[in-house]
Structure 1
Amino acid sequence: MQVLQVQLEVGPDPAEVGRARRWVRSRLAGSGIGEDEPVAETLVLIVSELVTNAVVHTGRPAVLRMQMPGGPQPEPTGTVRVEVSDACARPPLQRHAAGEDTGGRGLELVDGLADRWGWLPEGTGKRIWCEVDRRLPVGGAARGYAARALSTGCG
């Protein structure tokens, strides 16, 4: 199986989060992952949360990388890996937001949506990574959570 790796440099501006979401959608479509596949919106939500954390909590540029099944006819299975690197060495902190809190849910969402995730020190900063296994049909509880979060505007 061929693997496609793509990268986007993200500036230290919260407006960059929207650009990152658009970029991910276009790269997924180019890899054969349709926008109507539940895994597509799951990945967009994960990228949105990780890029938001990198930009808002560090105030520094970040690099978004994705590795996904590629080629002319990609398999409807495989793993998509998302990585966000920033120049802040402070480890990510998974918080547990209370009902009315407007923040603190990012890594909790990533934990619920990704099949695996973690972080590694990288140079003077860190790299947060996660993997989502692409399955057809997608039936995991986490995918249902993504659909509910997107439809209710939670996040």
Structure 2
Amino acid sequence: MQVLQVQLEVRPDPAEVGRARRWARARLARSGIETDEPLAETLVLLVSELVTNAVVHTGRTAVLRLSLPCGAAADSATVRLEVADSSDRAPVPRHPDGEQTGGRGLALVDGLADRWGWSREGAGKRIWCELDRCERAQRARACGGGIPYEDCEGLQGIQGLEGLEGFEGLAYEAV
């Protein structure tokens, strides 16, 4: 299987987060991942979170990299997102109270990605996450992660989920 790797250098400026989201949307569309697919929306949200963390917490230039499968097997492959920076500070998940406006990024990454982690790289680090492109994995994420899709319909009574027929079409926009 062929994998297209694309990367973007991100300056330590909060305005770069929006540029990174636009860039990621364009690269996903060119690789055959439609912008209204749940996978694309999830990836753009993860780009937003990881680039924001790099910009806000390091104050240094970072590199955003997407590894996008292409070719015949792309529909069932894994998409990888990485953000590398030159800060040696390890990412630390926080547990903010309900009043704090930040600190939820890594929890969001943990909840949306199929896998994620980080590693030291030279004087800095690389934070990565992966999303499986197969339909079943996308539906499981839309269903709350880890819950077999077939069991989602039994969750209709959970507060905030009323009216979502099997969760098809669940979408959100990172703005």
Q: Which amino acid aligns with 2:172?
A: L
2:166 is aligned to none
1:150 is aligned to 172
Cα separation, partners in 2 of 1:118 and 1:44, compared to 1, 3 Å: same
Deviation at 1:75, TM superposition (A): 2.9
SS in 2 for 1:150: coil
Q: Which amino acid aligns with 1:57?
A: H
TM-superposition CA deviations, 1:77-112 (whole Å, max 9, x none) = 210000000010010000122222100000000000
Q: Please list, as runs of the form range in 1=range in 2, the aligned pairs for 1:12-31 lying within 5 A after superposition.
A: 12-31=12-31
SS in 2 for 1:64: strand
1:80 is aligned to 79
Moved over 2 A (4+): 142-151
**Is residue 32–residue 74 contact of structure 1 (8 Å, CA) maintained in 2?**
no
Output the TM-score relative to the length of structure 1: 0.89
Q: Which amino acid aligns with 1:29?
A: A
Size of the aligned set, in residue pairs, is 151
1:60 is aligned to 60
2:93 is aligned to 94
For 1:44 and 1:86, the matched residues in 2 are separated by 19
For the pair 1:8 / 2:8, whether they are aligned, the reply is yes
1:116 is aligned to 115
Structure 2: stretches of 5+ with no match in the other structure: 146-168
**Is residue 114–residue 130 contact of structure 2 (8 Å, CA) maintained in 1?**
yes
For 1:48 and 1:64, the matched residues in 2 are separated by 10
Which has the greater radius of gyration?
2
1:107 is aligned to 106
For 1:56 and 1:145, the matched residues in 2 are separated by 28
For 1:126 and 1:4, the matched residues in 2 are separated by 22
**Is residue 38–residue 170 contact of structure 2 (8 Å, CA) maintained in 1?**
no
For 2:135 and 2:109, the matched residues in 1 are separated by 21
Cα separation, partners in 2 of 1:65 and 1:108, compared to 1, 3 Å: same
For 2:76 and 2:107, the matched residues in 1 are separated by 25
SS in 2 for 1:89: coil
Deviation at 1:143, TM superposition (A): 3.0
Q: Which amino acid aligns with 1:92?
A: P
For 1:150 and 1:96, the matched residues in 2 are separated by 23
Cα separation, partners in 2 of 1:150 and 1:36, compared to 1, 3 Å: closer
For 2:9 and 2:68, the matched residues in 1 are separated by 18
For the pair 1:37 / 2:37, whether they are aligned, the reply is yes
